[in-house]
Structure 1
Amino acid sequence: MSSPKKQSKPEPAITESSSVQEALDKANHRSGGKGRPTPSRAEAEAAKRRPLVPSDRRAAAKAQRVKERAARDVEYAALKSGDEANMPYRDRGPVKRYIRDFVDARRGIGEYFLYAALVFLVMTLLSNLSPWIAIVGLVLMYLTVILAVVDAFVLWRQLKKRLVNKFGDQVLNTRGLMMYAVTRAFQFRRGRLPKPVVKHGEYPA
């Protein structure tokens, strides 16, 4: 006589509500638990319909200009006071600080180039008195330009060796160092920003 077949227990049916609740539980688990209520469909749709640009563009642009002006004021004050943390990004870091100190400690032709240009301008205005004044002024101007370019080349060669000895060969991979040094060398010493902190002859170690 054959034994009766074992009847398998029926598996519990998965209702739609339980699957929805399970999905919500998983979503809450991924977001860090049920610490906050799940947004309703109306709230989610309202968030999607929120405009990406402000309604009052003129007021937003004015507020942005005020914010940018305040940031520039902070940077300008930092350039004058030496607060490197608030300086523009181009002036931050030990490499840029070393370049500034080296340029400020060195006497170069570029430092006096604008003074010489002013003299040449006066000589040009006086050319009506004598044509030789204009010729001499023009020759001196070109000679000064050539000497300033040569001096800038010498400056970069000296500075490059010091940078490699101080920071290693990888420092030369930083773009804009030569332009940063030469641009500062052609500025009035009193008008340089950040303000010089060393005197002539006080080269950085």
Structure 2
Amino acid sequence: MGPVFGSRSSKEEKAPAADKVTPDLSKQPRDPQAPKGRPTPKRAVAQSQRKSVVASTGNRKEDAKRARERRRVEMARQREALANGDERFLPARDKGPVRRFVRDYVDSRFSVAEMFLPLAVIILVLSMVRVASLQSIALLLWLAVIALILLDSVGLFFRLRKALNERFPDQPKRGAVVYGLMRTLQMRRLRLPKPQVKRGERP
């Protein structure tokens, strides 16, 4: 009788130990779209992208050459995107419907701030002429330009913020208004990404 009970108890002691070692795979979340035993689609794409970027030839010169070529292609795509507004290759700060709306909103209007650079050059030239009357005119002109830019920027700040809240009530808009104000400081022909709307055209 003793050996029989001993063998039964030893089997019962081994059973819980085996349960502890074997993980319960049924409790692990799995994407329903992913085939059994394979990673989810998003993870599979990310893994393939990492492999393609990290893949090494074993030759440092060749790897460096490939890295330079990738950077060159990316920069070329980015320059082209800045020229034609292609959202796929724009820098992160310019991507998204909110930033695109801000650009179109600013580009569809005339802003005093966009004349800052040419006016600053004119004022600088006048201030360098050693004629008291011209220097006084340059100072007054400079003060007038600064005042006009401030007034125009304050008005644009409130109008643009209102337009963004109406158009994109549920989307993040952090930094969008400042992004628009900074764009007004650039002359229209020098703005990047290039303007996609004409003056007076509704964005």
TM-score by length of 2: 0.67
Q: Which structure has the larger Rg over C-alpha atoms?
A: 1
Structure 2 residue runs without a partner (length 5+): 11-17, 26-36, 38-57
Structure 1 residue runs without a partner (length 5+): 14-21, 33-54
- 1:34-45 to structure 2, matched below 5 A, reads none
1:142 aligns with 2:143: yes
CA contact (8 A) 2:102 2:177 kept: no
1:8 aligns with 2:4: yes
- 1:64-143 to structure 2, matched below 5 A, reads 67-125=70-128, 127-128=129-130, 130-143=131-144
Which residue identity does 1:114 align to in structure 2?
A: L
* Matched residue, 2:174: 175
How far is the alpha carbon of 1:56 from its aligned partner?
9.1
* Equivalent-residue separation in structure 2 for 1:121 and 1:72 (angstroms): 36
**Shift in CA distance, 6/177, structure 1 to aligned 2, threshold 3 Å:** closer
* Equivalent-residue separation in structure 1 for 2:65 and 2:111 (angstroms): 44
* Equivalent-residue separation in structure 1 for 2:199 and 2:146 (angstroms): 23
* Equivalent-residue separation in structure 1 for 2:155 and 2:70 (angstroms): 42
Any idea what the Cα deviations from partners look like across 1:114-163, whole Å, max 9, x if unmatched?
111111122123x22x1221121122112101210110110111111111
Percent identity of equivalent pairs: 35
Tell me which stretches of 4 or more aligned residues in structure 1 moved more than 3 Å: 55-70
Which residue identity does 2:105 align to in structure 1?
A: F
TM-score by length of 1: 0.66
Q: Give the 3-state SS of the residue equivalent to 1:8 in structure 2.
A: helix
Q: Give the 3-state SS of the residue equivalent to 1:195 in structure 2.
A: coil
Bigger fraction of residues in helix: 2
